[in-house]
Amino acid sequence: SADVLYEAVAEGGITRFLAIYYCNGAENVGPVRSARTYFLDFISEYGSSPLYVHVGGANQDGPADALSQIEDYGWAGHNDMNQFSIGFPTFWRDYDRLGHPVSTEHTMYSTTEKLLQFAATKRKLAVEDEDGASWTKGFIPYSFKEDAPAQKRPVAQNVHLEFWTKAPEYAIDWIYEPAANIYKRSNVGKPHTDLNNKKQLTAKNIVVLKMIETNANDGYENNQHLLYRAKGTGKAHIFMDGIEIAGTWRKDSRTARTLLFDNTGLPIKFDKGTIWFDILPTDGIISVK
């Protein structure tokens, strides 16, 4: 149901998602996980007070201290939706979500409706601030185009991504479906399905952002906290209509929009539909067939 998704390794080669909801809601969304500093960089592009939903977060002193950063940004107790300070019935735990017991950190759920209700009634938040300014003030939307005609679409394309070369078991594939002009997601050769509706996850646009990944070196157990150089410039691979566009990305500051350009410097125009950003370390593997 999300309009935009960001995917990046959180630890151990396993990715975590940041899902952006605007046009549609989700009846069950989760499992909701802890805050990470790089997701704060991306969510900061969506207005000055985006509703950021999480369960606690990294809080070790250092550059990956997401909870302190939330305080610094003035979000705490305002647009920050930390389950630690909200609780039931906005959030609840489902210990049997897959028909068998799972670890506690994989059991927290909510709905977009409950979250919006809490924000409106308990935090007095709306699409406009107290001065009447809309959240869209200063927001730079992406540009969109019509889908490529069916006769100009290739019969196949497969985008294979390995975020960590030492963890190939977490590789993903985006498999192009020309008739619907979408990409279907698979994890290690198996369709990745939504638990709510059993349908395979899809996206109209896949954007691979090559970013420098480093350890935070903050003293956390096994040095697992990661950082991504999400501000600055880097290489990008954009996939839509069954074709690949080699280009670049640019993000000038935390609150600046991540802009995408083709190899001639022109802004990318997307197909209308879901945009999925995969944050790939510069030494990660991308292969296209």
Residue 153 to residues 104, 173, 175, 190, Cα–Cα distance (Å): 45, 19, 14, 25
Question: Tell me: the pLDDT tens digits for 211-246?
Answer: 999 999 999 999 999 999 999 999 999 999 999 999
Q: Which helix (H) or strand (E) holds 113?
A: helix 112-121
In this predicted structure, the answer to whether residue 100 has a pLDDT above a threshold of 80 is no
Mean pLDDT on 2-7: 98
Contact 61, 69 (CB under 8 A): no
Mean per-residue pLDDT over the chain, rounded: 95
Question: Tell me: the pLDDT tens digits for 140-149?
Answer: 999 999 999 9
- Measure the CA–CA gap between 230 and 136, rounded to whole angstroms: 22
- What pLDDT does 99 receive? 73
- What pLDDT does 188 receive? 85
Note the pTM of the prediction, 2 decimals. 0.96
Per-residue pLDDT band for 129 (boundaries 50, 70, 90) equals confident
Mean pLDDT on 241-266: 97
- What pLDDT does 272 receive? 98
- What token pair was written down for 112? 């977009």
- What pLDDT does 189 receive? 87
Percent of the chain with pLDDT over 90: 89
- What pLDDT does 209 receive? 98
